[in-house]
Amino acid sequence: MPRRYGVFYVSFPYEGYIRVIFSGYKVRSVAFCKSKPKTPQEDRHPRLLENSLRQYFKGRKVSFSSFSLDWNQGTVFQGKVWKRARCIPYGKTRTYRQIAEAVGKPHAARAVGNALNANPFLILVPCHRVVSKGGLGGFKPGLSLKRALLRLEGSKTLFDT
């Protein structure tokens, strides 16, 4: 079977687009971007993922756990953090410390934040659901987007200001 590669974009109601890059049946990256390129890249894409992302941005509860991700893009520690973050239920949050404890490094909350900052699978690995003990923490695409995603999921956080 030939190895397929592709990129597709899904309109994101807050800031622009979600760009999904895949190879074969594995997602290689999911990222926010301000605009679509003027020249579309290869247009083969998995319809199920595109439809799932569209449903998610309409505020519907969607599980992305069935999509295969290319975990070989980070360190072993980053992979553990990303996999643990992927388990956070829709509409719920966890703290950086809770993730650190879950991956066996209870004093590595800052390292968890750094690993999530390198997350190539935004939305599919919901790093926006990881918050600090006293606030939102960080989010590479910006805290306004983090708030918007948490609101979209109906998350009951105290950080909705």
Can 127 be counted among the known catalytic residues?
yes
User: Would strands 26-33 and 94-95 be described as parallel, antiparallel, or unpaired?
Assistant: unpaired
The answer to whether 45 and 88 have CB atoms below 8 angstroms apart is: no
Residues 6 or more apart whose CB falls under 8 angstroms from that of 2 comprise none
Of residues 88, 99, 127, 136, which has the active-site annotation? 127
Residue for token digits 């909350």? 109
User: CA-to-CA distance for 49 and 103, rounded, in angstroms?
Assistant: 28
Q: Which residues are catalytic?
A: 127
